[in-house]
Structure 1
Amino acid sequence: METDCTRDDLPVNGMTAALPVGTRLLHIGPHKTGTTAVQGALFAAKDLLPEHGVVFPAHTRHPMEAALAACARPAMMGDTAPTEKHWTRLLEQVGATGGKTSVISSEFFADAEDDDTIARIVGQLGGERTHVLVTLRPLVRIMPSQWQQYVQNGLRMGYEDWLTHMLRKAPYEQPNPSFWRRHRHDRLVERWVRAVGPERITVVVVDDRDRGGLLRTFEQLLGLPGNLLQPVPDTANRSLTLAETEMLRNLNKEFRGNGLPDELYSRLVRNGAVMHMKNTCSPSPEDVKILTPEWAVEAAAGIGAEMARNIAGTGVRIVGDPGLLSAVPKAPAPAGIPAPRISPEVAAQALYGALASAARARTVHQTSSKELMRVLGHRCLKKLRRR
């Protein structure tokens, strides 16, 4: 279903009409709305896109540092702070696309919180050539996924307590002020409407029942052949189970309680233990999922309905069914959160990931510069021979 709130000529034979050639399509997420799937598919098809007049200008799947720098936002806990050079480099890559259509995707653009920042981003990307794409999913599906992501960045608060703060404790900013900046979707759309106008914004409501639907919509907007964009498996991006999240949350308590440095958390925990655990352990049907209690489901559905009405009132183009934003899952939500149990294998893989990361860091620091250059040179030669 497509709701066209701006012009009558956008839908073509039930499909979404392509944007004008030369458009700079800026996909701003927000988080947990299919952004990783889109970025992975675009990056995998990077070499095929130019023959269809489209360029993916970033050198990596996700230009996160550039987006953070553009929005003046800090890096994730313990990571190196992004600089203006990251954003300038991406702008140069966009500028090099010339008159071709280009697409930039980062959910961190949704973190831009004031009109001046948004106007500057739009102006630097090409002004009137910029078209903003917002992808949306129901809050009830976003909340558990976003909570476990916050835990991966050091959060120590349990899920139900976190829901209480986000939904019942005004001004609803603690412990994560970024949540409603990203996920009060009507206000997010309104901020960007003030910069580009409603005619240059497309809102896509993601239907989780149609797994390929979002990629097909991107193909139509960019004028690409059908099925050119294909999903790329990414185990490192999977959500944690309840048990995994609770293990990490309790580790966060110990970490903070002992005053350890953030850089250690980034290297050993998030990019060591958690990354290795996600890459090696796939959740089984027996694993307890993060379930949202009924009171929070009803509250999220009510907010979703209000946001859908407000977005429709902005006059932007809406692709998909806005009713999904307030849909309540058919299965009844539990009264409470079940007790999690983590398997010995998962715990062992997490511990190994931390140890391996520590060993790599120690090896690098203890290796002389001459020896390090010899090893790196040898690796580069091996890669060149393979090519």
Structure 2
Amino acid sequence: METDRTRDDLPVNGVTAPLPFGTRLLHIGPHKTGTTAIQGALFAAKDLLPEHGVVFPAHSRHPMEAALAACARPAMIGDTAPTEKHWTRLLEQVEASGEKTSVISSEFFADAEDDTTIARIVDQLGGMGVPPLERSREWGRVHVLVTLRPLARIMPSQWQQYVQNGLRMGYEDWLTHMLRKAPYKQPNPSFWHRHRHDRLVGRWVRAVGCERMTVVVVDDRDRGGLMRTFEQLLGLPENLLQPVPEAANRSLTLAETEMLRNLNKEFRGNGLPDELYSKLVRNGAVMHMKNACSPSPEDVKILTPEWAVEAAAGIGAEMARSIGDMGVRIIGDPGLLSAAPKTPALDGIPAPRISPEVAAQALYGALAAAAGAPGRPTSPAKPRTVHQTPSKELIRVLGHRCLKKLRRR
């Protein structure tokens, strides 16, 4: 393995020396730390990377099923359960990259439950197809990268994401459970498993050692900073990685989240199946609404109360100190982890109002999803999502199905 592109002392807060050729860079997130942006940029540049000695071994932007299978985690509500085949297929793609540097990125690796699971992932990623006596040498190819942002900026994004997956609890009540009600595991035990960042780093350090662990503190003021850091680590030309617009990944406004949260109450209260929620709500109404509507400056954002911002800043400072004591490589300013964004002074929080256009688009997305299933296969054409299908075609299909049901009755 070539090692002439690296040195042992990756600088802190400076230009980053590239990792060795042949490194298997495992980016484990966690959630809401720029993972989607990096995955989109790497996937968009997939055909250009090999000429620079780098491979993005995945058939999609985010190999979520493979990561979930590796971590023995369940699928998103109503989705198809991941299988070991998903993980094995990704490992085979990594193995096929040979001596090139490969990048594996999924925030769901942060959900790996324990040391045994993490050690198995590192073992398989570094040693697949290698005789046991040579496996320790191959383990050295695995380098783990964690991207971190201030906790106070993560909390509102993570709450609305949980709502998109069925949560029915309001934001301030959720914050109270996460910050004030020990053992802080309800209603979402995954939150602190992902976002107690010092413990997350510690779990993976025990598997790979501090010399093969890099922590990148994301500076939200520098929009291109994370892209440039990945370019430097991978030895890529500057500006090769570019942001890819991803409307479907935007956060919901407060009004949109509250509409969805109340829909979740009705959905759960009536005992409807998870598969229906996945199809009609998350991949129908919400997906179409995100793609068809862009938030305006007048939309009320999800605001974190001051008490929770202060609590998050204190936890962030504690995590920064703990990570600093581990001896891992840190790129960026650890002080940002305790940053407390200023909340605007409001004379009462305005009631969130969903616009008629947004409500109509959400309803249309659900109807369009219903119209598309179940369908009789007509050709081997590439599957399309609801928002990629022309409106006239969706209306025609929906009308046809309604008439067919009426005739049966």
TM-score, length basis structure 2: 0.87
Contact in 2 for aligned 1:294/1:335 (Cα 8 Å):
no
Shift of 1:292: 0.1
What CA deviation, in whole Å up to 9, does each residue of 1:53-109 have, x standing for no partner?
Answer: 000001110000000000000000000000000000000000000111000000000
Q: Residues of 2 paired with 1:72 and 1:334: CA distance?
A: 44
Contact in 1 for aligned 2:14/2:331 (Cα 8 Å):
no
Task: Return the structure number with greater relative CO, CA threshold 8 A, min gap 6.
Answer: 1
Structure 1 residue 323 corresponds to structure 2 residue 335: yes
Partner in structure 1 of residue 306 of structure 2: 294
Partner in structure 1 of residue 281 of structure 2: 269
Q: Residues of 1 paired with 2:44 and 2:383: CA distance?
A: 24
SS at match of 1:203: strand
Q: Residues of 1 paired with 2:306 and 2:336: CA distance?
A: 18
Q: Rate the CA distance shift 1:12–1:134 in 2: closer, same or farther, 3 A.
A: closer
What CA deviation, in whole Å up to 9, does each residue of 1:335-380 have, x standing for no partner?
Answer: 8653211000000000000000000014x1xx2xxxx2x4325999
What CA deviation, in whole Å up to 9, does each residue of 1:214-268 have, x standing for no partner?
Answer: 0000000000000000000000000000000000000000000000000000000
Equivalence map 1:98-113=2 (5 Å): 98-113=98-113
Equivalence map 1:156-195=2 (5 Å): 156-195=168-207
Contact in 2 for aligned 1:138/1:325 (Cα 8 Å):
yes
Partner in structure 2 of residue 29 of structure 1: 29
Aligned partner letter, 1:376: P
Partner in structure 2 of residue 376 of structure 1: 380
Identity %: 87
Q: Residues of 2 paired with 1:378 and 1:72: CA distance?
A: 30
Number of corresponding residues: 366
Aligned partner letter, 1:198: C
Q: Residues of 1 paired with 2:102 and 2:31: CA distance?
A: 21
SS at match of 2:300: coil
Shift of 1:330: 3.4
Equivalence map 1:20-169=2 (5 Å): 20-126=20-126, 127-169=139-181
Gaps (5+ residues) in structure 2?
Answer: 1-6, 127-138, 385-409
Matching residue within 349, 360, 363 for 2:361: 349
Q: Residues of 2 paired with 1:335 and 1:302: CA distance?
A: 26
Shift of 1:10: 1.9
Q: Residues of 1 paired with 2:219 and 2:347: CA distance?
A: 27
Gaps (5+ residues) in structure 1?
Answer: 1-6, 381-387
Structure 1 residue 251 corresponds to structure 2 residue 263: yes
Q: Rate the CA distance shift 1:208–1:309 in 2: closer, same or farther, 3 A.
A: same
Structure 1 residue 221 corresponds to structure 2 residue 225: no
CA RMSD of aligned residues (A): 1.7
Q: Residues of 2 paired with 1:13 and 1:119: CA distance?
A: 30
Q: Rate the CA distance shift 1:305–1:14 in 2: closer, same or farther, 3 A.
A: closer
Shift of 1:327: 1.1
Aligned partner letter, 1:375: S
Q: Rate the CA distance shift 1:377–1:283 in 2: closer, same or farther, 3 A.
A: closer
Shift of 1:11: 3.0
Shift of 1:31: 0.0
